[in-house]
Structure 1
């Protein structure tokens, strides 16, 4: 092949009358090619029988075949063979991109090219024989025709691949924008617009799963193509480690059974199931549990940590509450304060039932009685107040 993309094959030495005969057959050859493609390639059977598309394809076939004849015939002015080839290859490239946009695989188009080459050779070969073309020239003619079809096929493959790459990249960008908006809690109309641009059909619910980036691709594939997979840094709060990836999984069910089945023994954090426009709630809870406990094999269910989440919602407020309600114990030795705090929490949770407290703490009921006498001296009548009871339970539950 030369540097300009043309083959270094000698020109055909057909007499002008032969080229005239081949060109006269061109409309019939093009029609035969289209008919054969419709008959033999099922994916084109319906589209090529429909109005405008059938006319467009028939015209494209005629142009491709005409381009070949112009390339094969010795130049007598006008476009040189390399120029004709460039035009034909540009058309084939565009055809490949169009097939990708239509959702068809490249296989059908390549099959159509093969059929076209076979039919064109049969039709034009018959004409060439009628024009008494020599066997050597017939062989050369066939080589030139099939080489031309190979070049068109390669151009279409390139166009098809480029379209898929670019459309895939664009789709991923749109999905990332959608994911950012979901995690940011954007307005519903904005979320719907992003979903439409991304070609993503909104599900009923979304569940956030936080998983290691090295396992995210496999897991998102198992969970389905509508699962959104986002890097940790897309979240506005930027609180997750870089090695974590955020999956937004559609329609897991309230029990999130599809997630548990997919996880197997993979370490992860699984947030609650929420309506898709409120996916931020699932993300926020999953992120908080990740920072509090870290992932565990088989997945950590955030719904099993609701108490911890409540107690740690405002760490400073919890610390202030503990300092205030446990102040009466401050002057005691640490070991004594610890025993009294443990007894007080059990007494509050068991609603003052001394025998139950003794069993819970594995001590004698008289020990419970003695400790509670000390606590009543320290707290006085406030132990009878409902507000104090709630505050003490919260403070003592998170005491370390």
Structure 2
């Protein structure tokens, strides 16, 4: 579509309502003043254009307004305007203007307000001069219809242009944000991350914290987090030993330090695994930690990986942990299974509570004499190994998650 296409002009422009030559001449003398007044009123009434319309750009806009007004006046002087007569900047140009406004980030409401304010100011001045020139009410009414009908068409064209640009730009940005998130989760290098962030028009925060949620909970979880949060719901980077099938990932900006308590509070009551805060370029480390913690997560409640670090260390190498338990707890193999469990439980409490019998008894809900009896049995089984710090460390680690033995 081009400005020369007759279909671009409103049908009202090809109907009657002519101004006489004397009136047209009188109106033209006032057009430079009216154009200046229109621009000034837009700057005053529409704050979004106060700065953009200053200086050289203001003079360009003022000239465009004057050209539009001259074409309105010329058209109004024709009792039967020629088909395809161009008015003002044209509908195609208005569509382009809507797209340009979208690229600057200004909402379409600002441009529509400018049209409304500008048309009102222009008509107020021109109608006064037309009445002074003796234009009758019927002709003046048709002139008003021509002006405001065309403004309606310009507005509709600009809305269409703004929407098409916004929709296209948003689709492209979503693609770039997905690519950026995937790049972060896979632990790509600095140059690649910088390029991905620039393409997505995303301003990096100081830190990012990975949060894993069931895929169906992504939208509701993202809604309560920082609007800058990055999300990815499909084809998450997989870790062979810690699959994340059925989950979505979120990268929450600046949720470390004191802000972590707020993150935990916001996620309270939601199924989620929260990784550690890491510098934004190292977000992949937070994601890795969260994926490793998935087996420890309970249903329906959040798991803060900062609070289960010992368990994560113990499960870092399951095979090594199994070997450690077999070696460190071998003496209990000489005892019946039920008795072995009771002795192991007592030994764990004894080591963690530094041999304070009363506290051990309280923790196990038994009599202190029972603790003494059991520990005598344990000493018989372990002998001098309980005096060796390295052996004690191995036993504590082996008993670290007694419910997993």
1:147 aligned partner: 149
**1:128-277 to 2 correspondence within 5 Å?**
135-212=137-214, 216-217=218-219, 219-231=221-233, 233-237=235-239, 239-242=243-246, 244-254=248-258, 256-277=260-281
Contact 1:207–1:271, Cα closer than 8 Å, also in 2 = yes
Residue 294 (structure 1) aligned with residue 287 (structure 2): no
User: Which piece of structure 1 moves more, 370-379 or 171-180?
Assistant: 370-379
SS across alignment from 2:49: helix
- TM-score (normalised: structure 2): 0.79
SS across alignment from 1:54: helix
Contact 1:209–1:249, Cα closer than 8 Å, also in 2 = no
Q: 1:339 to 1:126 in 2, by over 3 A?
A: closer
**1:47-196 to 2 correspondence within 5 Å?**
47-51=52-56, 53-65=57-69, 68=72, 73=78, 74=80, 80-81=84-85, 84=86, 88-125=90-127, 135-196=137-198
For structure 2, which runs of at least 5 residues remain unmatched after alignment?
A: 1-5
Q: How far apart, CA to CA, are the structure 2 residues paired with 1:239 and 1:396?
A: 27
Contact 1:226–1:250, Cα closer than 8 Å, also in 2 = no
Q: 1:142 to 1:346 in 2, by over 3 A?
A: closer
Offset of residue 322 of structure 1: 1.9
Q: 1:243 to 1:70 in 2, by over 3 A?
A: farther
Offset of residue 148 of structure 1: 0.6
Q: How far apart, CA to CA, are the structure 2 residues paired with 1:32 and 1:364?
A: 95
Q: How far apart, CA to CA, are the structure 1 residues paired with 2:8 and 2:336?
A: 92
User: Which piece of structure 1 moves more, 258-267 or 63-72?
Assistant: 63-72
For structure 1, which runs of at least 5 residues remain unmatched after alignment?
A: none
2:18 aligned partner: 14
- Give the RMSD, CA atoms, in angstroms: 3.7
- TM-score (normalised: structure 1): 0.80
Contact 1:14–1:133, Cα closer than 8 Å, also in 2 = no
Q: 1:235 to 1:384 in 2, by over 3 A?
A: same
Contact 1:184–1:236, Cα closer than 8 Å, also in 2 = no
SS across alignment from 1:12: coil
Encode CA deviations 1:215-257: one digit per residue, 9 max, x unaligned: 5545545443322233263434483343544242324434613
**Paired positions, count:** 392
SS across alignment from 1:208: strand
Residue 36 (structure 1) aligned with residue 41 (structure 2): yes
Q: 1:67 to 1:292 in 2, by over 3 A?
A: farther
SS across alignment from 1:47: coil
Contact 2:15–2:81, Cα closer than 8 Å, also in 1 = no
User: Which piece of structure 1 moves more, 387-396 or 260-269?
Assistant: 260-269
